[in-house]
Amino acid sequence: MKSNLELQKDVQEELKREPSLIDIEIEIGVEDGIVTITGVVDGLSKKQAATDAVKQVAGVNIVINKIEVKDGELSDITKSTFRNFENIFSNTESSSFAVPYSNPSLSGIYKIGR
């Protein structure tokens, strides 16, 4: 079994090989085969690419991806979800909603000004 330090170095090398992650800072935490990655990327595809890269490393048992997506692409599902909210809530004054399993996740109060 690899030490935490060895596994961290292997993960770091694998992330460096991923072309879509060039010039992106990703922090790597490792404990007993559990790898946690954090940072900020500009698209969901880059977040997924990081997870996929880490999964390729021998000795990785679990990947916890805490990378945030900022100012980038939205998936078609997310775009569709926003359109659906607009349609659902366009005839109400105030409604609560939560979207589980969405990335980025949404929750809060939606108010329509009149």
Instruction: Tell me the average pLDDT of the chain.
Output: 79
Q: What percent of the chain has pLDDT over 70?
A: 61
Residue 57 phi, psi dihedral angles, 5° rounding:
-80, 125
Query: 106: pLDDT confidence band, cut at 50, 70 and 90?
Result: very low
Task: Give tens-digit pLDDT for 50-79.
Answer: 999 999 999 999 999 999 988 655 556 666
> Is the entire prediction scored with pTM above 0.85?
no
Q: What is the pLDDT of residue 72?
A: 57
Average pLDDT, integer, range 16-24: 93
Look at 28 and 99; give whichever has higher pLDDT: 28
Q: What is the pLDDT of residue 27?
A: 95
Domains belonging to the chain, first-starting first, are: 4-73 (3.30.1340.30), 76-111 (no CATH)
Q: What is the pLDDT of residue 52?
A: 95
Give the Å distances, CA to CA, from 23 to 27, 86, 108. 13, 36, 34
- Asked whether the predicted pLDDT for residue 32 surpasses 70, the reply is yes
Question: CA gyration radius for the chain?
Answer: 18
What span, in angstroms and rounded, lies between the C-alpha atoms of 65 and 86? 30
